[in-house]
Amino acid sequence: MPSIPTANTAALHVRGSVDGQFTENILYYEFASAIASGDLASLAIATAALVISEWLPLLSSEWMGREVYVEDLTSGSGLQYTDTSILGEVGTSAGQAYPNNSSLAIARKTGLAGRSFMGRIFWQTIDASLLSSVNTVSSAKAADIIDAIQAIDAAAVGLDWTPVVVSLYSLGAPRVAGVTTPITTWTVTNLVLDSRQRRLPGRGM
């Protein structure tokens, strides 16, 4: 189906691979005015630097960076920008890597109820050094992961972007235009490991 426009909003993709399987996390940001190509470039470049400094210590050595890709969602054929500063960068967390599908779900909250006003991402890789038991991420490491995500949000705010949740559907039907709601917090609902089945070898992202 045709894309659903979301005015002055960008999707930011942090892309890597784990044992050859592509992975990514998508973050959304609304700009203070119409988006120009330089605005996307600044966001991508700032994000790539923070992935290297803040994310790599929390990603297993099986994770390898590919790119940071940003696209303007204002129309179906908007501007885009790719930064490859993370290409070939490897996670530096030192524990034994868990299988590709092992992950931790991190929820984005807006203070409003309903699926249109919340979302989540799945951390791209897990290793034993992040855990407090065989099935549980340590609370300290979970807090570090949230801090690493919020570091990108803080950089985006400094560039006049607002972290948002994007809703493209309501009651199962596509909206005429996407609705954005500012994120108030990122949180880990529980510390039990999650399974991201699409990250099993050969499945997807």
Tens of pLDDT, residue by residue over 21-62, are: 999 999 999 999 999 999 999 999 999 999 999 999 999 999
Measure the CA dihedral 94/98/100/106, to 10°. Answer: -80
Is residue 3 a part of any domain in this protein?
A: no
Has residue 204 been placed in a domain?
Answer: no
If one counts the domains in the chain, the total is: 1
φ, ψ for residue 108, nearest 5 deg = -105, 130
Tell me if 88 is assigned to some domain: yes
In a domain, 113, yes or no: yes
Confidence band of 169 (pLDDT split at 50, 70, 90)? confident
Domain region containing 66: 9-199
Confidence (pTM)? 0.94
Q: Is 53 part of any domain?
A: yes
Is 1 inside any structural domain?
no
Residue with tokens 């590709």: 100
Report yes or no on 4 lying in a domain.
Answer: no
Sign of CA dihedral 179, 11, 198, 144: negative
